[in-house]
Amino acid sequence: MAVNDGVNTYDMAIEHKLRCLKLGLVDRSGVSEAFASLLTGGGVVAEISTFGLSGLPMDDADEVGFLIDVKSDLWDADLARDMQVELIFTTAKAGAHANIDFKVFAKGFAAGDDLSSPLTSPDVSLTLPAQTVAGQYDVATVKYPLGAPDTFTDDEIIGLVVELDDKGDGAADNLILLGARLWYTAEICDPDGHRRQT
């Protein structure tokens, strides 16, 4: 008998209860435990103005990589459902900063798979709609579905890359990535097949 036999996993009272995994909010010391690497580009974690806060300044084609441990980071996720990636960013440009284009790439790796860049034959690749930051150092976010339900159900880890495809009408390194989040739907049954209470 399968774990979910007899369990209503489409209960509308529970279906939309999303949970969030932090992929990298940069801390005050300028060191982020979740920014796995700056894959392409010369930017490093840098101070934002004089606030004592830090972020990752980016230019066109700069890429930031994250590694997600499916079994521990997404242990309660219903991987049959789609996930959403959310980016948090700001700008050092005076005034509004428009026409900012991000791309996201994700690739799952099961036990025994050869590791490779998520940019190489990704399971998911998407271009987010053009973004605008209203004013200098304003916090901006964009959240977008990965469009990949059932894609990572058998994987041990997920490699995820955020790329600044086009900095828009700002100069190099005006765009500052503050972090990223991965939103997912929690599974509603436990390993014994019993329904969880909400």
CA-CA distance, 68 to 105, in Å (whole number)?
A: 13
Supply angle C-alpha 151, 153, 157, rounded to 5.
Answer: 90
**Strand, coil or helix: 73:** helix
Task: Quote the pLDDT of residue 47.
Answer: 64
Query: What pLDDT does 33 receive?
Result: 39
pLDDT at 17: 75
What is the pLDDT at residue 65?
85
- Please check whether residue 167 is in contact with residue 58, taking contact to mean a CB–CB distance below 8 angstroms: yes
Residue 195, pLDDT score: 55
> Which option is the CATH number for 18-185: 3.30.360.10, 2.60.120.260, 3.40.470.10, 3.40.50.850?
2.60.120.260
59-to-83, 110, 128 alpha-carbon distances in Å? 27, 33, 16
pLDDT at 192 (0 to 100)? 52
pLDDT, residue 190, reads: 54
Percent of the chain that is helix, strand, coil (3-state, to 5): 0, 40, 55
Q: Which two tokens stand for residue 118?
A: 């998520």
pLDDT by residue for the chain (198 residues), tens only, comes to: 444 444 545 554 455 578 888 886 444 334 443 343 444 444 456 667 666 677 888 899 888 888 899 999 999 899 999 999 999 999 999 999 999 999 999 999 999 999 988 988 999 999 999 999 999 999 999 999 999 999 999 999 999 999 999 999 999 989 999 889 999 998 865 555 555 555
Task: Please state, in angstroms and rounded to a whole number, the distance separating the CA atoms of residues 129 and 72.
Answer: 31
Can you spell out the DSSP letters for 109-169?
E-TTPPP--TTSS-SEEEEPPPEEE-STT--EEEEEE---TTSSTT-SEEEEEEEEEE-TT
